[in-house]
Each structure stands twice: as structure tokens, then as C-alpha cells.
Structure 1
Amino acid sequence: MAEIEIKGVAKRFGAFTALHQIDLTITNQEFMVLLGASGCGKTTLLRIIAGLETPSEGEVWIGGRRVDHLPPRQRGIAMVFQNYAVFPHLTVYENIAFGLRMQKKPQSEVDHRVKRTAELMHIEQLLQRYSGQLSGGQRQRVAVARALAMEPDVILMDEPLSNLDALLRLEMRAELKGVLAHSKTTAIYVTHDQVEAMSLADRIAVMHQGRIVQAASPVEVYRNPAARFVGSFIGNPPMNFLPATKSGEERFIVAGSMLKGPKASGDIEFAIRPEDMDIGPGGIPATVRVVEPLGAHTLITTDVEGKIFRVVLDSNAEAKTGDMLSLVPRADRIRWFDPQSTSAIQ
């Protein structure tokens, strides 16, 4: 079992607090993605789990054992870094075998593990090559194979695909998810790329300013953001937000349109995904600013009371700059937020 428990972890660098009382449980064999913008604390949290940083407060448990006082080599983890860290003077075989040699494993076991992980990563034909003879994608596969060959309880990955081009990233994402499911390893993966997070994760922990704002499945995070930041950060294009003025019991005026909302004592904020709008009578009046045909659908940027408001419509939708549209939100897709706390209103 390799369940990870992070209990009240905080990290301070002088007067700056990088992490604020983080509590997070990652279940055995779960693929957890830490997602957030640069500087949000995700890499700091990963390094604390790895033992490369010491928490200012709190505890880290792996497999029912407290490890925050242990060096990295005693934590049962392996790491894959952004820059691959593949040794140029060693062959692919010796790169994968490196950690096993350090553990003084017998040659027969080294052979078995290297060949098995090389096959998993589809690089068995490259075992006698040096890293200078490899492409970026092949070097990344070597780095992952080296980590998996250690048969770690936990594998930690810090933006491992960020240096690859778009097509290679797509290929490696699919491969990585399959390989980790096969190896039955608990994985924590750090990224700022929301597409990567949505496609890989069993759960996503969205981080902002040193805090975990929401930890849930990709679908839950996308459909039911727990805070305004989550809705604005996840989605391309992100959620639309408009002020909602209270006008009676569970009634709100949004850009001149009356909508049914939650129980609230005052004004709140209306939010909706761009794809959850239709054109119809009695909707929110919007002026078309930009029309972008994107093949299967059309992205239309509009102006609603001086605010940018984006909608995704069917590819045969007819609209041109200057047109007036009446946008009707799908009632079951509307989300509401408290403008003071920025938390979702249920």
C-alpha cells in the first residue's frame, strides 16, 4: 500500500509563506495531479513529499509510515524531472539500471527489470544507444523507465512533458497513463497545463497562492468549480462571469435578464462555461466582437455590458462582427459565486 497523507504541511522561506496548511490524501495507486500557475506552491509541495525540502510545519506519511524526517532514499519514491536528467556517458540500458546498481541488485534482477520497463516504454530497441543519439521524446521515456525500474511505492513527476513538442506530448500522455496503470504505482504529477491535468488525472488538486482550492475528479473540477479561481483557471476558454443583482427571493438580474438563482442575502456572481449557452429569445443581450471558426465549433467573443463574454456554438452558427445575439444559459449549467469569499454557492 502506498497511500500518501499530507497533514497540515506549511512551508516558509523567511517572511514568505509558500504553502499554507496543506491537507491532502492520495489513495493507493491513484494518479494525482497538482495543477496551478507558476509560483502557486505545487513544486514546493512535491519536493517536500520527495524529501528535497523540509516542511516548516506538518507531517508527510507514505504507506502508513511517517517520512518527513527521512532522507529521499528511504521514502520508497522515484522522481522524474522536467530536464530528464539522463546521463550522457551511459547507454540507455545503464541509465535505466543506474538506481538498481546503487541498490546493489543482482545482475539477473537488473537485467529483468531493465528489459521489462524498456518494453513498457517501447524503447527496448534503444538499450545500447547513448542519450546523444536519442530524441527528446526517447530521452523522456528513458527517464520514466529508470524511475519505474526501481519499483517505487510512489513516483513523483515534475512537469516531465513540458520540453516536448505538442504531438510528442499527446503521445506521451496516453503512454504514461497506460504504463502507470499497468505498474500499479501511486503517482503525483505537477503541471501548469490544464489539458495535461484533465487527461491524466484520477483527481486534480488545484493550487492557488500556496493553498489547495479544490481536489476532485477532472469532471467535477470542470463542471462544479469550488471557487471562482478554479472556474477562471480551468477551461479554454475559461468560464464567463457577470454580476448578479438580487431581485426578490431566489431571483437575480444578470445583464438585464431575470434568472432563478440560489438563496442569498445580497448580490452574487453568475458564471457559466462558454459551451453552455444557446441562442434564443429572452436571453442575455450580447454584441459580437470576434468570430473564430474552429472546425467542429465556432468560438464567438461578445461584449456584454462592457465585459468580454465568450460562447462556443455549433460550426454552422451564423454570426458576424457587430451582430446582436440573445444568449440563453442552460439552467443546469449555471454556477453562482459569493463575490466576497469567491467560493461557490450551492
Structure 2
Amino acid sequence: MIMFNLWSVLQWYLRPFIKWFLRKTTKLCELQRICYGDKAGAERTCNVEKSLMLSRTRDVKEVVSFLDSVVYERRFVPRNFREFLDPSIAIILRVKKINPKLHSSFVGSFRRCLEQIWSYRCLMDQVEHLRQTHFDSNNNEHEEKLLKLWSVLVPHAPLEARVTKQWQYIGFQGDDPKTDFRGMGLLGLENLLYFSMEYPQVSSHVLSHSLHPKYGYTFAIVGINITSMAYYLLKDGSAKTYMFNSKQYLPNVNLFHKFYCYLFYEFDKMWIESKPANMMEFSDIFKKFENAVRIELADPASVFRINVEVDNV
């Protein structure tokens, strides 16, 4: 730990000299070297973000602060990108003495990185808002989502009442699911509903495993635990690998839901493959699963997709 701290301090003081030396020898600034040399996606975007965050240049720090304030005001949305990113990029080009005509490919790559970095920060704010929104049984929208979850997962058996033991069939602990959403708030319900509606075959497949007479588990409660895991992976930055390697989408709530779906499906696979004796093994298997996911996310080249395998357990 002491050696690590010493190295961090040394890097802090040596960084300006190293950057100056590389600028002189390569004729490129650090941001250019990253955008030209690193693979598009998590590798490039994370290194651009690190470079911006470590910059000691006043104008660069002001750009970072400005874009953070736009996120805080919830104005960082695609339709406003040009308004906020064009002047920000112009400042960086001026400060770094980059000719946009000679380095047009850099401008495009750098813009994409900025879109990803601050979309991720915007997503964190949105997810936090959902997590802090308590499920309210007096809110018609909340109630409709909960009832929709049942109808999608169990279309062949209508609910007998709003408060009923039937909820335990899909893995809630008691007669009223609202008590199970306390920890993750509305985020837990939104995740479960997205999984059920966007991946009906996959969610049905997973639900069938949860009802297995020997290896069964509480589908909804496990789903909320997966929500918690996805939330903390997003919060500590681990999920950037998934978000930044998605070529079709910028980080947004739907992409977070897709990440959740991937995690739920993969956890189900590990659970069944582990052949647990009972639910007492949940903590150990869940921790093993989280460690495996973190190792995979640590590789900036990792790409995550749901690959459905039909099995007979």
C-alpha cells in the first residue's frame, strides 16, 4: 500500500514532464495520442476521461466543470449536444494547439468520447433518481407497472387481488410486493419490467428455473439483488466497459436496463450450473458471480451480449 501511494505521488509530479517529452517527440498532445492510438470504445473513452480529469490546465478544468453543470441541470441530451460540445471542443483544440482541418478524425473521435463520458454521468443521475423514488401504492403509474409485471410474466393466471399470496409465485417475499422495493426503489421494478417485456422468452426461461423443485429461487428478490449489483457497478465506474463498448447506443436508462438483463440471465446460468443444495448458498454464489463480472469488466475489450441457451434442468 505504501509503495502504491509513493508511485501515485511520483506519477503526479512526473506526469507534466512525461507529457511534455511525448509532445515534443511525437508532435501530438496526450488526447491525440489516445484518440489515434487506443481502440474505439471503453479503452479510448476511459483514457480520454482520465486525461481530462487529471489536467491542470485552467481552461480544460473549466470545460469539465461546465459539462458537469449541464448534466446537473439535466440538459445534456442528444438534441443539445452541438450547443454544449462545439464550444467545449473548440476550447480544447485552442488550448492543445490542434488544427481541426489537419486532425478532423481526432475531432470526430474526441467528440464521441465526450458524448459517452457525460452521457454516462447523466445516466448515473437518472438511475440515482429512480433508486431514490419509493414505490407508492397510491401512485397509479407505479401500480400499473407492478400489475403489468405480473401480466407479462404470468399471462395465463390473472391476479385474484392486489394483495395476494400469488405474488410469491414470481418470487416476492409476501402478499404485497411494495415492501420488497424498499432498498432499490422504483429502479428494481423498472428493471424487472424491462427484462420481462423486452426479453419475454429469456425472462420466461429464467422464471422457469426459479420455479425448479430442487434448484429454485425467489425470482423477484434475486432480480432486485441484481439491480443492486448493477447500480453499484454503474456508480463505481465498472459498468463503463459495457456502456462505452456499445456501438449502437450512448449510455442511457435503456442501456442500463439491458446491462441488468445480461446480469440476471448470466447469474441464472451460474446458479443452475452450481447446483446449490438450497438458498443458503445464495450469498456465496452471488459473490462469486459478482467477482467474475468485475474481472470481465476490468478488460476494456469485453463485449456483453445475452446468448440464450435452451436447456432442460
TM-score by length of 1: 0.23
Please state which structure has a larger fraction of its residues in helix. Answer: 2
Find the structure with the greater CA-based Rg: 1
TM-score by length of 2: 0.25
Which structure ranks higher in relative contact order (CA pairs < 8 Å, sequence separation ≥ 6)?
2
Please state which structure has a larger fraction of its residues in strand. Answer: 1
